[in-house]
Amino acid sequence: MPTYEYQCQQCGHDFEQYQQITARPLRRCPSCGQTALKRLIGTGAGVLFRGSGFYQTDYRSAGYKEAAKKDKPEGAAGSVGSDSKSPKKSETKAGASGKAASDS
């Protein structure tokens, strides 16, 4: 339900009234009792965001997403274990045990 602003044309009293949209505008002033109230044009209610929020990247265009894919390095798109520079488990064990044997 919105809040409406009213002003009395007789005494100048102004106030806000919480009313349903379908309710008829008030006519009688609560201050002087005259039927000279006028509903004013207000600024309206602010937008309320509820929930986890909205993010700038939620609704990107297809063109932006394609450009972002092109900017990514090629290795970043693959899975975690697909990097050719990282040693495999068997190589790591053999390298560590071979080094320990040669140090002795």
Question: What pTM did the predictor assign?
Answer: 0.42
Q: What is the CB-side half-sphere exposure of residue 56 using CA atoms within 13 A? A: 1
Residue 21 lies in a domain: yes
Per-residue pLDDT of the chain (104 residues; tens, 9 = 90+): 788 899 999 999 999 998 888 999 999 999 999 999 999 887 666 666 666 766 666 677 788 888 888 888 766 554 454 445 555 555 555 555 555 555 54
- Domain assignment present for residue 48? The answer is no
Q: How many domains does the chain have?
A: 1
Please check whether residue 33 lies inside any domain of the structure: yes
Whether residue 64 lies inside any domain: the answer is: no
Residue 36 lies in a domain: yes
pLDDT score at 21: 85
Residue 21 makes CB contacts below 8 A (sequence gap 6+) with: 1, 2
Return the beta strands (E) in the chain as ranges. Answer: 3-8, 14-18, 37-40
Query: Can you give the pLDDT at residue 60?
Result: 73
- Give the residue numbers spanning the domain of 32: 3-40
